[in-house]
Amino acid sequence: MSRCQEFREEFELYALGVLDPPEMAEIDAHLREGCAECEAALKNALALNAMLMATTPEVVPPARLKRKVLAGVGVHRMSWGWLGALAASAMLMIALWLSVEERTRASELAQARRTLITVSAQRDRLLQAMSFLDDPATQPVSFGKGKPLPPHGNVFLHPQLGVLLIASNLPPTAQGKIYQMWVIPKGGSPRPAGLFQSEGGTALHILSGPVDLASVGAVAVTVEPEAGSQAPTTTPIIVAPVGP
């Protein structure tokens, strides 16, 4: 019996992860060689496994499970599907959001804080965001709400902390381009407020430092060359007017 035939006798077990490690490794190595027939046999094994498991006797889940599943991925009550792109940090941001919009959700924020500790890559940025959103002096301004396609999200302003932008539906910029935020004073020219990229359509950007809230007329975002610009060179794709 050829090696391939031997392997094919066990592909179902391989796909279930129940072969002993040396056998798993052997099959892995063989598949990496690009054996087309074994690839096809593995597909059949995956299909057999799926169909056999699909004949499991039915048990009806409680109705609440659907709500829990949807809440678990952060789409419960909100049409914020874009948040999921950031995985663990998505949970955090939703909790942050709720802490601003619904102060009663204190326990979720506590959980978000715990999640935060594990998200090492974005931790610093997110910690900063958390203190920002937590502060009663922060003023939220919405933009683009209710429109399905254009970028939408929120800008948060704080007299000492600065400006926090959370936006969704931001497509990735073209090669060599970047997003640039601008703080536009009332009756003045836009001032550069930092560069950022969108991750999976979602962006979180912070301009740190004191801001004179009374003088800010709007916060805007444009697409700029990678190095950033001194003044906007394209039409803003986000404009969030600030103030009464």
Least distance between other proteins and beta carbon 202 (Å): 9
Q: Could you list the beta-strand ranges (E) of 104-232.
A: 139-143, 152-158, 162-168, 177-185, 191-196, 203-208, 216-225
Q: Which residues bind other proteins (CB under 8 A)?
A: 9-10, 12-21, 24, 43-44, 46-62, 65-66, 68-70, 72-73, 75, 78-85, 87, 200-201
CB 165 within 8 Å of CB 224: no
- Tell the smallest beta-carbon distance from residue 116 to other proteins (Å): 17
Task: For residue 9, give the amino acid letter.
Answer: E
Instruction: Give the integer Cα–Cα distance in Å for 241 and 52.
Output: 57
Query: In 10 A of CB 198, how many CB atoms?
Result: 21
Q: Please give the structure tokens belonging to residue 67.
A: 């709500």
Of 75 and 239, the one with the shorter C-beta distance to other proteins is 75
Q: How far is the CB of 70 from other proteins (least distance, A)?
A: 6
Closest C-alpha to 211, from 147, 154, 155:
155
Residue with smaller CB distance to other proteins, 71 or 213: 71
CB atoms within 10 A of CB 185: 14
Closest approach, Cβ 1 to other proteins, in A, equals 12
Closer residue to other proteins in complex, CB, 25/231 = 25
Q: Please identify, using beta-carbon distances, which residue of 76 and 191 lies nearer to other proteins.
A: 76
